Structure 1
Amino acid sequence: MLLIEKVLILRSSDIFQNTPEQELVGLAGILEEMYLEPEENLFSKGDKGTCMYFIYKGQVRIHDGNYTLAVLEDNDIVGELSVLDSESRSASATTIDETILLKLEQEPFYEIMMNNVEVLKGILNTLCRRLRIMDDKSVSFHNKTLPAVPTV
């Protein structure tokens, strides 16, 4: 993959859309390309995480056992929580189809984040959006499982 393609992928993500071009070029140069087959495990719940991934092409299912939490696609990011805190992965990630990922390790991400407040804003916006989606799913699930309370 050409360097310019990696820069364009980064630019298309919410996290890096306002990052200066020069920083994106440096970051793109250290991204590791990964090619995965369908149904390949990217990481498992409980694994130690120190990186995140950009989905260039394909789909990744985020799941806890058989329960699907999300399906992520082109230009989405995977594993952003672990790149922030190095804690265990909170869910598993498995490819749905042929997938091309760009892997970003924690230390380079921290360097970019420290030098550019827009990156920090981007990661916070992404995390907040995902929390809201999970809240909506939780409320929907909760409403489906509770019996209706009769009114008097």
Structure 2
Amino acid sequence: MSHHATTSRISATERVALLKNTALFAETPENVLSSIVPIMKEVAFQEGEQIFAKGDLGTSLFIVQEGEVHIFSGTQQLATFRPGDFFGELALLDAEPRSASAVAHGAVVTFRLDQEDFYDVMEERGEVLRNILRVLCQRLRRQNEKMQLPQ
């Protein structure tokens, strides 16, 4: 993989603002977000680069800072994530291999939150776990709607 950690191009204040605008951290106070920012790693990917593959052991979740990420199962595109969206959380929550592959669509910059840090945040901040559950439910409902056959 040719992805690489980048030297942050945005300030800590801008990172806090980005996190505040994600569904994951929407209810989290700014002072808490300021403590999360240093543990997140900025990682860049090039067009077509695989961020992770279906079946990989999941050890991180990602928040899109710039660009688009497409999620695939085989050749079927399941989802598109844009700035402020997060993905990769399932493998962190259930300790199962990745259920799909993530590929950069154009140049992409993400914030990566690793498993141990993620669990620390969830333990300290109950709203983060509630937000993850809410987003997972929304995604499941959307998938169910897509699967329903026309009447």
The answer, yes or no, to whether TM exceeds 0.5 is yes
Residue 51 of structure 1, aligned match among 52, 60, 63: 60
- What's 1:79 paired with? 88
Which segments of 5 or more consecutive residues in structure 1 lack a partner in the other structure? none
Matches within 5 A, 1:2-151: 2-139=11-148, 143=149
Q: Would the aligned equivalents of 1:50 and 1:82 in 2 still touch at CA under 8 Å?
A: yes
Q: How many residues align?
A: 142
Amino acid of the residue matched to residue 125 of structure 2? N
Amino acid of the residue matched to residue 54 of structure 1? I
* TM-score, normalised relative to structure 2: 0.89
Q: Aligned-pair distance for 1:138?
A: 1.4
Q: Aligned-pair distance for 1:14?
A: 1.0
Q: Percent identity?
A: 37
Q: Would the aligned equivalents of 2:57 and 2:96 in 1 still touch at CA under 8 Å?
A: yes
Tell me which structure has the larger Cα radius of gyration. Answer: 1
Cα shift readout 1:109-141 (whole Å, capped 9, x = no counterpart): 1111111221111111111111011111111xx
Q: Would the aligned equivalents of 2:24 and 2:86 in 1 still touch at CA under 8 Å?
A: no
Amino acid of the residue matched to residue 77 of structure 1? F
Structure with greater proportional strand content: 2
Q: Would the aligned equivalents of 1:23 and 1:112 in 2 still touch at CA under 8 Å?
A: no
Q: Would the aligned equivalents of 1:62 and 1:94 in 2 still touch at CA under 8 Å?
A: yes
* TM-score, normalised relative to structure 1: 0.88
* Distance (whole Å) between structure 2 residues aligned to residue 136 and residue 24 of structure 1: 34
* Distance (whole Å) between structure 1 residues aligned to residue 74 and residue 90 of structure 2: 19
* Distance (whole Å) between structure 2 residues aligned to residue 116 and residue 33 of structure 1: 22
Q: Aligned-pair distance for 1:107?
A: 1.3
Which segments of 5 or more consecutive residues in structure 2 lack a partner in the other structure? 1-9
Counterpart secondary structure, 1:9: helix
- What's 2:5 paired with? none
